[in-house]
Structure 1
Amino acid sequence: MESLLRLTFCESFIQRTGQVVAICEAIHSRIAGGRLAHMKERNQNWALFIPNDSRMPRLRIPMNTCPPDFFHHSQHYSQSLFVAQLHEWKTTDHFPSGVLLKHLGNSGDIEAESEMILTENQIEFDEFPNEALFGLPNIVDDEWNDSGNQWHIPERELQYRRDFRNECVFTIDPSTARDLDDALSVKRLNDGNLEIGVHIADVSYFVKEGMPLDEIARRRTTSVYLVQKVIPMLPRILCERLCSLNSGEEKLTFSVVWIIDKSGDILEEWFGRTIIKSCIKLSYELAQDMLDQPNRQWQPYELPTIHGRWSAQQISESVNLLNEIAVKLRKHRFESGALKIDKLKLHFILDKESGLPSGFTPYVYKDSNRLIEEFMLLANMAVAHRIYKKFDEKAFLRCHPQPSENGIKDFNYFCKCNGFQVDTSTSLTLQRTLEAIVNNDENISRVVANFLLKAMQMATYCCPGMQSSGQTLHHYALNVPLYTHFTSPIRRYADVIVHRLLSASLSYTPEISDSMKDLHRLAKTCNDKKLSARLASESSSRLFLNIYVKHIGKMETKGIVVQVFDHSFDVMVINCGTICRVYLNQLPLKKFTFETTHGKNQLILEWTDSTRSPLTITACLMVGIQVSINEDDITKLNAVLRHPN
């Protein structure tokens, strides 16, 4: 539980002790999800609340606030999930007292488990209040039909916005995406150079400073993506209608446009408010097909509806043209010292009726994904330099410090013990190290990447004027001096602030009213909420994986040993990236020996079956495992060796 504390210290015979005298800022809500059980002595006045979050203590819950039959029939609630809040903790009490807030449902129920994930991560998921729509165009759902957007852009906007409605502008997104906040355009110029534009939804046109919705978005700061649904930062009318760059609809955008030569060098750069009309919504898969088959003659029925005068071949040519430049931009970035650590993500196949997972596949990152990534990075870097040049101390940037000294030391030690040659002196040498390991063994590289991620510090939002002398604005992983977030204002409030700063730098609007201290506090909120959103997304993915494993009973697969301990070892499951712990007391062993040789831990396992030869478990060893679900707790996976030999 994170709080800012003032401590008074007193001397003891052995160690210093402290007493909390005040909580200056209460950050944690003291709310958690968990289960109910009897107190050890079966006290009739109190029940015991056992939170899933290990940072929360167990709570005493008044029995009269529990379900009426809980005391006599507690077994009926053995699989029930509840939400409780810590109320007070008297110095004389062993357990703090709490209040039961809600009965969510049963363990394994997707909606109940998802609500608990959101609750534990302090994510606001209530419906938007009516006042959130105050100041927005008065549009209702049934006013949208097949003819498109029924809200019309005011004529005055055309007087100062650059018009891209007759250009080949299109979006590339996941096939299921409904909040489209970025589009691309490209055209050849007479001199052989290219004009490339990144067009981002102009959310700040609708969400003004001081609006009730602005206060809500400022509090939420980010959309949260669970496997089966999205908890949006903004109301659906904005996310999916007014701001989303849907094909065939005129949309207000904020754009960065470059003149780029064939080598990928930037000759000119332009920022400004624009208006676009996307001609097609491409999925990553369809864009990839265009890259894989550049000369294919596409038939109309093979593509989504194309709006305007553009043909399928022209769109395919534009996608391939953008990719040619993206490849050169990417090559230049990594030659300049950029670092990328890939983390496996899962794509779940959900049953349309039950919503339960019927399968999963690792998400494959392809050239079409990299194409979008390169131009979004380019736009973010360009905007960062623009707002920093104009506002300096009041810019809103994205910083990434170097890896921690102790973390890198541990990483180097791990690699040395396991025979990996690494150079961690710079991000460039580190990237080349990772590439060499990937080329040698992609599975082993995941283990190495897992250790490297532990050494990395988190990227954070920052206000330059509030940085201490020892802090830097540099972004370590990208190896660039300045970076920010500009390209996703529908789902990130940081981008909305950056849009306002960019608008003010271009004299469209006055300077934002936030002071440096305001921006510093906002940066901290954005950092906290971004971490919570990431943890919630990861928990949702684990939940669906566990439900799938429970459904099939047992999953026979392969894993790589990550770490070895004295009575257990951790295994990374190759096909899903999850790390499971294998406990030796669950294996048919006659005995085992734990050793450390040249800094490398190892376990020597001897089986009760004398026909099986001893097995030495060390980091990076490939093993066959059997993964199953813990019947008492769906949040936990069990793993045992499938084939000891």
Structure 2
Amino acid sequence: MSRLKVVLLTNDRGNKEKAEESGLLTYRCKKQDTSVTSVPQDETAVLTSNEITSSKVLFPEHLPLSRIQSGIKSGTFQQGTFRASRDNYLEATVFVHGEGDDSTEVLIQGLQNLNRAVHQDLVAVEILPLNQWVAPSSVVLQDEGPKEDDVTEEEEAELKSGPSGAASRKPTGRVVGIIKRNWRPFCGMLFLSQIKEATRHLFTPADRRIPRIRIETRQAATLAGQRIMVAIDGWPKHSRYPNGHFVRSLGSAGDKETETEVLLLEHDVPHQDFSQAVLSFLPKMPWNITEEDMAVREDLRNLTVCSVDPPGCTDIDDALHCRDLPNGNQEVGVHIADVSHFIRPGNAMDLEAANRGTTVYLTGRRIDMVPELLSSNLCSLRSSVERLAFSCIWEINDKAEIVKTRFTKSVINSKASLTYAEAQMRIDDANMNDDTTKSLRGLNRLAKILKKRRIEKGALTLSSPEVRFHIDSETHDPIDLQTKELKETNSMVEEFMLLANISVAQKIYDEFSECALLRKHPAPPPSNYDILNKAAKSKDMVIHTDSAKALADSLDAAQVDGFPYFNTLLRILATRCMMQAVYFCSGMDSDFHHYGLASPIYTHFTSPIRRYSDIIVHRLLAVAIGADSTYPDLMDKHKQSALCNNLNYRHKMAQYAQRASVAYHTQLFFKSRGILNEEGFILFVRKNAIIVLIPKFGLEGTVFFENKDKPSPKLIFNEEVPSLTVEGHSFNMFDKVKVTISLDASNVQHQKIRMSLVEPVVLSVAPSEPEPEVKRAKLDR
């Protein structure tokens, strides 16, 4: 018996370490391993065909499609889109679409109930009994690293920390099956295994809503520090993470080009160069307006037309004019680039623009919807050149009431391309009385009346902190960061663009009631306002939300003495309560109302260089006034509706990509600045953290009250207020705090702005020296 040698074969790292401490010979179970010389070959054969995996079942079996279909039919199951939480990896929501605009949200909590669904999958859910409904968790919880194939009690305990009041509970369910996977190649980085010479590693996606993915690769050493793409192959019920494979490398993490590529891929932004097939439909240069063009257009080259745009704008969509009429009224014209003259239905350029849907504006980079020859040259309404336009012209009286409206294809010659600041200076300078300045003053006077009337009808004036970067012309790094300052001229341009969009919407709907492309903004459900109501209540105020007018009036009246920024904070919160505005086909819907603008009908007409929706609207309007001929797809409400779905998706992803670009450049800015101390306001209170807004930079960040290196303080969270008490300090929404802001580069994949509390002083989370990784990141720069 003394000659007997015990060998342990295991995939459990903990067991392996314990066994080695006891002096046992241990091996991992892999494909045939010839180094196991102590055991005869035939005795190990049963282990070599496949890697041994945990036999413990972690997740319930997915039901077959036949069971799912019958369950949906009988009402036992609901189908909907699975949306993972960004803030809590153990929580998700399934959006169940009902009749018309009706949809319900089903809350899913815990790994087993999530049951291997991945963000954006189409899933079947079973609604749990009422006594098992729970409230969304108030904890910010992120999967910080590789875990064994098990769910720890601590993880599940964290989820039980939501508010307990019955009013806070939401319909809660569990995923019983997957109807359609929405898997795509995901961008991210490899998290190398701690085991030497291992070929199995965990991949961490850039998008926190996507679970880590196990992949098999022998290139791990090469891929370390690279941004890579990985695709999911499957997700076994006994595995904590899905399995996948390496697709391709994108470049070094941290490299600006690589990070921009990741950002575009993750948000599904088409950004490849335009193909030769697309470019072949561009007009031949040099291009000039022909006599044939002039014969079918109104000649408006004599008018004092000018454009007002942000600095550096080269894709100028719109221009304006205002002049006095002999009868005492004024003529106002909105002139829009006639892009539809150059992009004809069904050709390669049209199909590419329809797919892209929108121009995407990143910090320091623009991804055009149409080739640059059109976007920055032939369609751009630059000054001192003749351009083709589609004009909306009103006769307006002294009270800014519309007497007459007409639409015409035209030729214009803009007299000035101004920035908002330049236009404002002209209006304000009493010594300037040229035709362009007079035109601007007339427009500005009328715009103020139009805006006042719109607001009286219930249009909302909301707020979201927009950030502007000053970029170094050579390195393209951000050298200054500030929130955008809006001038009167911003509002002036906006009022006439809104008026043109409303006028055109009514015209195309009157002509084509079944196939007009319109834009609506649904009213938010009452539950959306919960956080706004709690915020107002904390300052002994009541916000009325039963109509847009009631909300607008409540927001106007919400003032706190000695706290001028309070109203802006409340409007920022109100913005978060809103629904997304969407494109739709008039023949497929009955609710046209635009809640935010308090308008019964609305569309997009004024930006055809950067929005494909506007090109379709131009085509409809051209047919309506007899300036162009129709074509079958334009009058097909089902095709229009499918087009609207793509436009809504592209528009949403462009917004997310733009925000991600701002976030990345904000990181670059703070990387070069080191640590800054700034004042901010608490925007949200969570169970273990506060979310702080820094007005100076339009920046939001999370201050956690848990520190891995120190004992956690006692946290008392009151969901109803909401408030969080830490070490005797009570934190409420809108409280002023002081924080340090720095870049936490300890995780290359998810570098983030880190905020630490300076005032009031909470000892357990007081700022400490930057971690060595942060210092190294600064040196490596």
TM-score range, shorter chain: 0.7 to 0.9
User: Residues 507-526 of structure 1: matches in 2 within 5 Å?
Assistant: 507-514=626-633, 515-526=636-647
Q: What's 1:303 paired with?
A: none
Alignment of 1:185-224 (within 5 A): 185-224=321-360
- After superposition, residues 395-434 of structure 1 pair within 5 angstroms as 395-434=516-555
Q: Which residue in 2 is equivalent to 1:494?
A: 613
Identity of aligned residues (%): 30
CA–CA distance in 2 between the matches of 1:616 and 1:138?
68
Is 1:288 matched with 2:424?
yes
Unaligned residue ranges in structure 1 (runs of 5+): 140-149, 298-311, 607-613
Whichever residue aligns with residue 86 of structure 1, its letter is I
**Distance apart, 1:588 and its partner CA:** 8.4
The aligned counterpart of 2:484 is 363
Whole-angstrom distance in 2 between the partners of 1:566 and 1:3 = 27
Note closer, same or farther for the CA distance 1:43–1:400 as it changes in structure 2 (3 Å cut): farther
Distance 1:322-1:366 versus aligned 2 partners, 3 A rule: same
How many residues in Structure 1 have an aligned counterpart in Structure 2?
Answer: 597
Aligned: 1:104 with 2:237: no
State whether structure 2 residue 206 is matched by structure 1 residue 52. yes
Describe the superposition over 1:54-103 as per-residue Cα deviations: whole angstroms up to 9, x where unpaired. Answer: 23232233414x46x43xxx7xx34x322333344455655434343443
Letter in 2 for 1:553: G
SS at match of 1:393: coil
Instruction: Give the corresponding residue for 1:436.
Output: 557
Q: Cα offset for 1:424?
A: 1.4
Give, in whole Å, the separation in 1 of the partners of 2:431 and 2:710.
58
Query: Match of 2:268?
Result: 122
Deviation at 1:170, TM superposition (A): 1.0
Deviation of 1:190 (Å): 1.1
Shift of 1:187: 1.2
Mark the structure with the bigger radius of gyration: 2
**For the structure 1 residues 351 and 3, does the alpha-carbon distance in structure 2 shift closer, same or farther, using more than 3 Å as the test?**
closer
Matched residue, 1:455: 577
Deviation, 1:442, is 4.1
The answer to which of 108-117 and 211-220 deviates more is 108-117
1:279 positional shift: 1.2
Distance change >3 Å, CA 531–CA 21, structure 1 → 2: closer
Q: Deviations over 1:559-588 (max 9, x none)?
A: 111222332211111212322111113498
Q: Which letter does structure 2 place at the counterpart of 1:627? A: I
Q: What is the alpha-carbon distance in structure 2 between the residues aligned to residue 9 and residue 593 of structure 1?
A: 34
Larger RCO: Structure 1 or Structure 2 (Cα < 8 Å, ≥ 6 residues apart)?
Answer: 1
Q: 1:8 to 1:374 in 2, by over 3 A?
A: closer
**Structure 1 pair 509–335 and aligned structure 2 pair: CA distance change class (3 A):** same
What SS does the corresponding residue of 2:558 show, helix, strand or coil?
helix
1:266 corresponds to 2:385 = no
SS in 2 for 1:394: coil
Deviation at 1:435, TM superposition (A): 2.2
Q: Secondary structure at the match of 2:759?
A: coil
Q: 5+ residue gaps in structure 2?
A: 1-117, 133-171, 762-781
* CA displacement 1:367-399 (0-9 Å, x = unmatched): 111110000000000000000011012110000
Contact kept in structure 1, 2:483 and 2:695, CA below 8 Å: no
Q: What are the within-5 Å matches in structure 2 for residues 240-255 of structure 1?
A: 240-255=376-391
Superposed CA offset, 1:179-213 (max 9, x none): 01101111111111111100000111111111101
How many angstroms does 1:106 deviate by?
3.5
- 1:19-58 paired onto structure 2 within 5 Å: 19-20=176-177, 22-23=179-180, 28=182, 30-39=184-193, 44-58=198-212
Contact 2:227 2:252 in 1 (8 A): yes
Task: Please give the alpha-carbon distance, in whole angstroms, between the structure 1 residues aligned to 2:457 and 2:251.
Answer: 52
User: 2: distance between equivalents of 1:585 and 1:296?
Assistant: 61
* Pair 1:373 & 2:373 matched: no
Whole-angstrom CA distance in 2 between matches of 1:439 and 1:385: 41
1:594 and 1:601 in contact (8 A); partners too? no
Cα distance in 2 for partners of 1:430, 1:407 equals 13
Cα shift at 1:156: 1.0
- The residue matched to 1:600 in structure 2 has which SS? coil
Q: Which residue of 2 aligns with 1:577?
A: 698
Deviations 1:441-479 (A, max 9, x none): 442234323332232111100112112xxx511000111
**Does structure 1 conserve the Cα–Cα contact (< 8 Å) formed by 2:671 and 2:742?**
yes
> Structure 1 201/414 Cα, relative in aligned 2: closer, same or farther at 3 Å?
same
Aligned counterparts of 1:404 and 1:132: Cα–Cα separation in 2: 43
TM-score (norm. length: structure 1):
0.87
Q: Which amino acid aligns with 2:208?
A: S
1:131 partner letter:
A
Q: Cα RMSD over matched residues?
A: 2.5
**Alpha-carbon distance in structure 1 between the residues aligned to 2:173 and 2:528:** 28
In 2: Cα distance, 1:573 partner to 1:489 partner: 35
For residues 106-133 of structure 1, give each alpha carbon's deviation from its aligned partner in whole angstroms, at most 9, with x where no partner exists.
4433222221111110101111001102
Could you tell me which residue of structure 2 aligns to residue 504 of structure 1?
623
**Contact 1:9/1:17 (<8 A) preserved:** yes
Q: Which residue of 2 aligns with 1:142?
A: none
Distance of 2:700 and 2:299 partners within structure 1: 51
Partner AA of 1:632 in structure 2: S
Structure 1 contact 398–459 (Cα < 8 Å) conserved: yes
